[in-house]
Chain A
Amino acid sequence: MNALFALAAGLVFGIGLLVSGMADPAKVLGFLDVAGRWDPTLLVVMATAVPVAAIAHRIADRRKATFFGVAINLPQTRDIDRRLVAGAVVFGAGWGLVGLCPAPALLTVGAGRLPGIVFAIAMLAAMAAFEIIERMRAQRLPASATGVTAGDA
């Protein structure tokens, strides 16, 4: 049941990306090129997606559970640390190179685009490598220093 809702949510998310133009890396690069011919479309996508999501979060904060009584799982991490900023900068650099971030990358796989598939394989490989590195770090450090990746946004 939960998986069925997640499937529907993923589908609507993907259609939203395609309708908005954000599944097109060339258009995303047009937004990131502030010194060139700048395409502000991405700002409109955020300005419309964020308020709708904010209403959902308001409801979630009040209910603390889904419409089916399942506890809502929100990120608990609050620290603004070097990992957060370094990770975001590394991500932004990769985003700027091609114009793909994780969701559109998965869409290009579905669209059967070879460049997108290559990008997605590299992305997933790096995610797997991250887990391996984290596990090695956790074994080296005392227990109190681990768990830093809990609570993804």
Chain B
Amino acid sequence: MIDWASFTPASAAVGGVLIGCAVAMLLLLSGRIAGVSGIAGGLFRPQRGDVAWRVAFIVGLVISPAIYALAIAAPVIRIDATYPTLIVAGLLVGYGTRLGSGCTSGHGICGMSRLSPRSIVATLAFMAAGFVTVFVMRHVIAA
């Protein structure tokens, strides 16, 4: 059943185009793929001349909520999980994205846009795992 009240296609499309533009900027101006897990994870494997752009991209991400709050509105960020769940989930996301060489941005947007078979497989796998996890959490355990 589609939750029409929560579905926000117009803002999603504007945001999606902005995300695509950010990918284009990093690719055509800096020559890099906008895969956030790879950009952050690469900092733990530092190489000469390969650190500044990673830090700069992450700083851009981190300051964006403040700019958004000043220019548009207060960001809506609703997190309901308990602290133990947050820690387990953070560990899974950190390790899984490094083992699988990418996340929602690197595989889901950049890789899909290159029609990379690797990224298509990874995106289907993490989406499927996400669907199953939410199903178990909301409809098996909580039910």
A residues neighboring B (CB under 8 Å): 2-27, 29-30, 32-42, 44-57, 59-60, 63, 65-68, 70-75, 77-80, 83-103, 105-111, 113, 115-116, 118-131, 149, 151-153
- Closest CB of chain A to B74's CB: distance in Å? 9
- Closest CB of chain A to B88's CB: distance in Å? 7
Total A-B pairs in contact (CB under 8 Å)? Answer: 515
Size class of B's contact patch? Answer: 35 or more
Q: Is B53 in contact with A3, judged by CB distance below 8 angstroms?
A: yes
Q: Which of A2, A29, A103, A149 contacts B36 (CB 8 A)?
A: A103
- Closest CB of chain B to A115's CB: distance in Å? 4
Cβ of B26: which chain A residues have Cβ within 8 Å of it? 5-6, 9
Mask, B27-70, CB within 8 Å of A = 1, is 11111111111101110110000001111111111111111100
Cβ of B100: which chain A residues have Cβ within 8 Å of it? 83-88, 90-91
Q: Is B93 in contact with A12, judged by CB distance below 8 angstroms?
A: no
Q: Is B62 in contact with A110, judged by CB distance below 8 angstroms?
A: yes
- Closest CB of chain B to A102's CB: distance in Å? 4
Q: Is B2 in contact with A38, judged by CB distance below 8 angstroms?
A: yes
